[in-house]
Amino acid sequence: MSTEPERLEEQIRRSFDGEAWHGPSLREVLDGVTAEEASRHPIPGAHSIWELVLHLAGTYSLILRRLNGDATDLSPEEDWPTVDAPTPANWTAALNVLRSLNEQLRAAVRRFNPDALDQTMGNRRYSAYTQFIGVSQHDLYHAGQIVLLRRALRAQASALKSA
């Protein structure tokens, strides 16, 4: 029988790595995205794929920070960091950081004391349980945005070919 932290970790894994019941995971929607595509803004006023990846990494860092007893919220620069030069190496590095932070968070959730899930963590508003399940919800929310951004990129490329 699985513990509640193990079940929560499984949801975080599924939303990030795959086997999510709803459709593609975050990793699956990022597969094949190039640095050039990730840095573009095909929808006016929307974040780029790269910006979303950095934002997601910031959220993982926030929850890891709270697990270590630091209640400091993310600064605006941590929440939405500036994108580095749009090179393939920088894009690969951003994806590697995202994966590493997700793995660190999942390991921490697996080790979490089940008796403390209903206690607040890092702030007074949200329990540890809500923050852990919220990470998977946050991943999937932004995965949906990435799907739309990829569709907009394809539409732009198709329009350029037709012109």
**Topology annotation, domain 4-162:** Four Helix Bundle (Hemerythrin (Met), subunit A) (1.20.120)
- The closest alpha carbon to 132, from 24, 1, 10, belongs to 10
Structure confidence at residue 61 (pLDDT): 97
Residues 111-139: tens digit of each pLDDT: 999 999 999 987 768 999 999 999 999 99
Cα distances (Å, whole numbers) of residue 13 to 33, 103, 113, 139: 20, 8, 19, 10
* Structural domain boundaries in the chain: 4-162
Confidence grade of residue 22 (pLDDT, cut at 50, 70, 90): confident
What single DSSP character describes residue 21? Answer: T
Range with lowest mean pLDDT among 67-71, 106-110, 138-142: 67-71
Residues 27-58: tens digit of each pLDDT: 999 999 999 999 999 999 999 999 999 999 99
Question: What pTM, to 2 d.p., does this model score?
Answer: 0.94
Confidence grade of residue 163 (pLDDT, cut at 50, 70, 90): low
Cα–Cα dist 66/63, whole Å? 5
